[in-house]
Amino acid sequence: MQIQVKSFKFKHDDVKLYEDKSEIDVETDVKLEEPGGRPVMSRTDYPAEMATPLLPLREAMKQSGDHTAVEALTDLISKAETKHLTIAFCGHFSAGKSSLINSLCGKRVLPSSPVPTSANVVAIRNGKPRALIYTSPNVSADNKAGTLEVSPEELETYCKNGGAYSSIEVWDHIPLLQDDAVLLDTPGVDSTDRGHSLATHSALHLADVVFYVMDYNHVQSETNLSFAKSLSDWGKPLFLIVNQIDKHRERELSFDQYVDGVEAIFAAWEVRYDGLLFTSLRDQQHRYNQWGQLPELITELMTKKEELISHSLASSASHITEQHLRREAGKREDEETALLEQVGGQEGIERLEREIALLDEQVAELRAKPSQVREKFRAEVDSLLANANLTPADIRTSAGHYLESRKPGFRVGLLFSGGKTEQEKQRRASELVRLLQDQTSSQVEVHIRTMLRQLGEAYQVWDAAWEQVLNTELPVINEELLELKRSASAELSPEYVMQFSKDVRGEIEARYRKSAMLLADRILEALAAQGEAALQALDASRAALLAQSAAAARYTALQRAAAEEAAGLRSLLPPAGPLPSGLLPEVKGPHVPAPVAAQPQTEAPAPPRAAAAQGAPAAAGAERRRRLDAAAARLEAAAALVEPYPAMGSAVRDLRARAASLAGGTFTLALFGAFSAGKSSFANALLGEAVLPVSPHPTTAAINRIMAPAGGMEHGTARVRMKTREAFQEDLAYSFRLLGLGEPGTEWQKRVQSLTPQDVHPAGRPHYSFLQAAAAGWEETADQLGQDVLVDLNGYRHFVANEKKSCFVDSIDLYYSCDVTEQGIVLVDTPGADSVNARHTGVTFNYMKNADALIFVTYYNHAFSQGDRQFLNQLGRVKDSSAMDQMFFVVNASDLSSSEEELEQVLDHVGTELRKNGIRSPRLFPVSSMLAMEGKMDGNVDRLQQSGFMRFEEEFNQFAGKELADLAVGGASEELARVIQRLKQRAEDAAQGEETLRQRRDELGTISEQSRLRIERLAQRSMKDELSQETNELLFHVRQRLAFRLGQFMAEAFHPSVLREDQGNLKTAFAACGRELLRMIGIELEQELLATTLRLEQTGHAWVGKQVTECINEVKQLTGGIDLSLTLDEKWSTPVLDEIRLEEPSGWKNYWSYFRNPKQFFEGEGRQRLQEALEPVLKQMMIEVLPTSEQKLVQFYDTQVHQSVQHHSRQLTERLEEAVTGIQDTLASGIQAEQWVALSEQLEQMQE
């Protein structure tokens, strides 16, 4: 049920919730009236010094457009003008807030009950008795159309039906308040109703002092600790009240130790408080009761109201401002996140300038590189050519000869000289060319080739084609070059020879220079192409960096603007700081009265001692044991009677196997429930002795089995089975993943020590506690992993109650001799449904499935947690699949009820919740394990009767001692009946006469072969196809059910109490909510899969039963009446399925955009849009993870069915052979029908 929550607005001298945020001006002169009609001082009659500082802040909020902040500040301004001290009471719905307020008022002003009462914030003040119920969302001082005035007697109805009303105000004669104070009662902080949560926070907005009330047994619940931390962070005076301390039992735990534990847990959570009180309204004379200090404390606080109101206004104004800044940050967050992603995070901003400068250098270098390379290459070519000796002396000599041959008139010989002369000219030219080629090749070309090759290879452009290019493109030295440089007119002389040599050299150098540079340019063109690609990449990088630079500039501007806005707004805040030392009254510790000397007194008659109740578990066990032992004895006697007859061999074995199971069988009683539900104290009451450690803090962290001494173990000893190292590492890794910490690694202890509880999603707090305990106990306990540790009773209690040890424990077997255990009852105490070990769903499920009886314990005023609800849903599935109802539901601590009417209210409430969670027609028992334990230990029958335990034990005895025993004894009778039927068959065979028997024996050879073939066909039957179809259909419905419940999972995981503006890092909290959603769905999937095993097991049993029955009937027809009836009561194990792990790869970053602020997410469409976005993703996750489990289920049950039909086939074959042998024995031995009849009659007399 949703309600519209109004924030506070003071009307008259009163406080009420409102939604219409009309503007309030401190200069307004409005005449007000008391509730009784008496005119009171107008606002302007009060000094406005408290309101005035808030006006500029409100104006600034107006300008920023934050209507939420404007409305809140308007409330504060109105509050400043009325000057009433507002005292808020918060806490769990069952912590006793309303009862405390009623006691402070001296009368029953508010309804109080262990079930939720206040669904609204109720304002209480001194005045003429009446109550105003505001029914309209728009109520103003001038419009009372939405106001309903009722009598105080009618108030209870309106308090409970909060969804229909916006607010409630109550006046009554309450001298404590005078005209100075208002008391506020708020809805339970653990309420799952979003409206209740908002209403509570709305109350805190204007509260000047907060009293946070907790149940004695639930101080350490994560809801209490988380909410207390948020109150502490608010900075307002905070007083913690631990109520209902009459539940404390000194013999279980000293009060000093309890107080130390409370103080330690609040210190661990960094909760700062101004006083801690321990109270009890039920036992006003309780030795530790500080109730008397509470009215005195409030009276003294009222004398300091101006200072407290001033401090409260400053704190709230600061809180409003910080919430505004968070909202503004939330608006900027998407843009800032995107900007930061562009620049590579905060550190990216700092390196941007360096990277841009570096890129510019790279670009300039790349652009200049081709010319730089060319210049360098040119310089190297020039150096090469300058240093090359192309015309040494031999070439100059050859050049002189060449020039001489070109001189006019040159001839060789006298006769026939023409031909010889031409030959000589050619020879001299060729000789010079050859010498020049050789010299150039060695001095220049080989080096030019190398240089070009190296240049090409340096830029990855060189290949065989380039080698060919060198061959064709490099210069050629020939006669043409010589002729080009020879001057026809020059006179041959040594000087000219030198000049000619110089000219030839210059030409060769020029040609090689030109050719080398042309080839280098072609190579550098490829380099330029590569450089262009690199330049484009660099340009793109530079553009990206410039964009990042713009993003960085934008980000810096946003941050600067935000900082300036924050500084500006904070400068407008009223002066704030801690309250002056000594202003708040000191809360003294619990007063413990000094021991008083014993006074002689008349001895009162002792109450009658409690004998063992008729319905006690021990009596149930004794009656059950007696009947089972008697049945076992009858079966043994029957086996002895038929043992001499070989044809009855299988009957003898069946009788003795059944007798052994009856005589040696135990009775398993499993206890389930949430932490602090009182399972351990309930178990002690059942046992009649204080065996298990009892504490208001969580104890049972592993499976505990309490049983009679066996296997050489002595009374009072325990076998502690430690987790294996692998199992512990799996638990460690699971908790790390759930808390978003990744994998543990070798340094996991250091990482755990850095965790703080406020950073953890409430559902992850047990895992936080587990990790803290594991880190603290690792050094001491690590060496014991994988071992069985034998301890005495004190050591056992230490392993159970000390979380530093219990977190390493897999299970514990305690061997304890008492009336209950000696009757064969094994008591199993399981971890709470909300404990870390609750993830081991298979272990718990096996106890649900196989235990002879189950008891679910809930606390008298304890709400069902999400873990409880998942557990109860599974219990409902098991209950629906069970042949009989073996479940008992206990409401513990029923002695807390103040009347029978209140007790009935609680039972109705619990019954309704059980039915909501799948438990139809629950057997519900209110008990007080504390009174029962006292009654049993003190021998007080009256107290035992008062505890309600006797009624529970009587019904339990009826179930365990009669119903279950009837079932077992009935099975024994059926076994006897089958043997008797076989004996009668023998009698009928014997009565047919020798001739008939011979004929039947001859026929049986053929008939028995046909029967064997029919039994062999049974052994070959398979139901794999049916199993595949059935499993597929069942898992389809699993997916449908989970999809249908997605909204419920979303509401529980993404809860307003977690995603609050004052929570801190909302993005981290959002991711934690996402992980919690996947954890819940994963566990629900595992629960559904385990429930599916029940359905598949039933299907398999039914199919096997049908096949076996058909086979038996067909064999009976074939054999002319031989009955091979079997007992079809096989027990199948449950398959071990892999843990379901659902993970969101992005760490929920991809979904953060759906959350802008809590108001948009919860009151707007944020959560609904997130659910719509997640639904297909989650469905796909389920589609992907289920096929592996489906395959395992089909394979497992196909194997079970196959083994079952094989087993039954062997049994049928054996019985068939015995039947044939029996006929042969009857014929051979001559046993008369009368003997078989007499034997059957003897067995009939043994039946119960």
Distance CA 64, CA 70 (A): 10
Distance of CA 84 to the CA centre of its chain: 44
Whether 344 maps to a domain, the answer reads no
Residue 969, domain extent: 620-665+957-991
Specify whether the CB–CB gap between 82 and 126 falls below 8 A. no
Indicate whether 182 and 284 sit together in one domain.
Answer: yes
* pLDDT at residue 843 greater than cutoff 80: no
pTM of the predicted model as reported, rounded to 2 decimal places: 0.62
What pLDDT score does 598 carry? 38
Q: Of 153, 70, 168, nearest to 119 (Cα)? A: 168
Q: What angle do CA 717, 253, 586 make, to 5 degrees?
A: 160
Count of CB atoms situated within 10 Å of the CB of 591:
12
Specify whether the CB–CB gap between 477 and 512 falls below 8 A. no
Distance of CA 173 to the CA centre of its chain: 50
What pLDDT score does 788 carry? 94
pLDDT in tens, 59-97: 999 998 888 889 888 888 888 887 789 999 988 766 788
pLDDT in tens, 1136-1175: 888 888 887 777 888 888 887 887 888 788 889 999 999 9
pLDDT, greater one: 524 or 1225: 524
Whether 842 maps to a domain, the answer reads yes
Q: Of 384, 484, 385, nearest to 433 (Cα)? A: 484
Whether 1142 maps to a domain, the answer reads yes
Q: Pick from 495, 525, 542: which residue ends a domain? A: 542
What pLDDT score does 15 carry? 36
Whether 1129 maps to a domain, the answer reads no
pLDDT in tens, 1004-1031: 777 788 888 888 998 888 999 999 999 9
Indicate whether 973 and 1015 sit together in one domain.
Answer: no
Q: What is the mean pLDDT of residues 1108-1120?
A: 86
What pLDDT score does 545 carry? 66
Indicate whether 519 and 637 sit together in one domain.
Answer: no
Q: What is the mean pLDDT of residues 599-619?
A: 43
Distance CA 50, CA 47 (A): 8
pLDDT, greater one: 33 or 505: 505
Output the domain CATH number for residue 227: 3.40.50.300
Tokens (6 digits) for 764: 């992850």
Tokens (6 digits) for 1053: 């995981």
pLDDT, greater one: 337 or 725: 725
Distance CA 1109, CA 1105 (A): 6
Confidence class for position 99, pLDDT limits 50, 70, 90: confident
Tokens (6 digits) for 836: 């870390």
Q: What percent of the chain has pLDDT over 70?
A: 82
279: helix, strand or coil: coil
Whether 1104 maps to a domain, the answer reads yes
Whether 580 maps to a domain, the answer reads no
What pLDDT score does 612 carry? 41
Distance CA 539, CA 219 (A): 64
Q: Of 1064, 1104, 1111, nearest to 1203 (Cα)? A: 1104
* pLDDT at residue 336 greater than cutoff 80: no
Taking each helix axis from N to C end, the angle separating 305-343 and 194-206, rounded to the nearest 10 degrees, works out to 120
Count of CB atoms situated within 10 Å of the CB of 123:
24
Distance of CA 1092 to the CA centre of its chain: 23
What pLDDT score does 36 carry? 39
What pLDDT score does 31 carry? 35
Whether 801 maps to a domain, the answer reads no
Indicate whether 673 and 648 sit together in one domain.
Answer: no
Strand partners, 170: 124, 131
Indicate whether 1001 and 1113 sit together in one domain.
Answer: yes
* pLDDT at residue 601 greater than cutoff 80: no
* pLDDT at residue 131 greater than cutoff 80: yes
Indicate whether 915 and 1004 sit together in one domain.
Answer: no
* pLDDT at residue 219 greater than cutoff 50: yes
Q: Pick from 912, 947, 982: which residue ends a domain? A: 947
E strand or H helix at 952: helix 949-957
pLDDT in tens, 864-874: 666 677 778 77
Q: What is the mean pLDDT of residues 321-344?
A: 78
Indicate whether 1076 and 1065 sit together in one domain.
Answer: yes
In this structure, the chain runs to a length of 1248
Q: What value does the mean pLDDT of the chain take?
A: 79
Whether 978 maps to a domain, the answer reads yes
Indicate whether 1038 and 1174 sit together in one domain.
Answer: yes
CB within 8 A of 941, min separation 6: which ones? 607, 608, 609, 610, 611, 935
814: helix, strand or coil: strand
Indicate whether 1060 and 1194 sit together in one domain.
Answer: yes
Indicate whether 1150 and 1184 sit together in one domain.
Answer: yes
Indicate whether 228 and 88 sit together in one domain.
Answer: yes
What pLDDT score does 199 carry? 57
What pLDDT score does 701 carry? 62
What pLDDT score does 123 carry? 87
pLDDT in tens, 1171-1200: 999 999 998 888 888 899 999 999 999 999
Distance CA 504, CA 565 (A): 85
Distance of CA 1013 to the CA centre of its chain: 56
Domains held by the chain: number: 5
Confidence class for position 725, pLDDT limits 50, 70, 90: very high
Specify whether the CB–CB gap between 1078 and 1143 falls below 8 A. yes
pLDDT in tens, 646-694: 777 778 888 888 888 777 667 888 888 866 667 888 888 888 888 888 7
Q: Of 368, 521, 375, 531, nearest to 452 (Cα)? A: 521
Q: What is the mean pLDDT of residues 692-720?
A: 81
Indicate whether 626 and 683 sit together in one domain.
Answer: no
Q: Pick from 515, 542, 569: which residue ends a domain? A: 542
* pLDDT at residue 1071 greater than cutoff 60: yes
CA-to-CA separations, 462 to 375, 376, 381, 455, 465, in angstroms, rounded: 20, 19, 19, 8, 8
Distance CA 647, CA 651 (A): 9
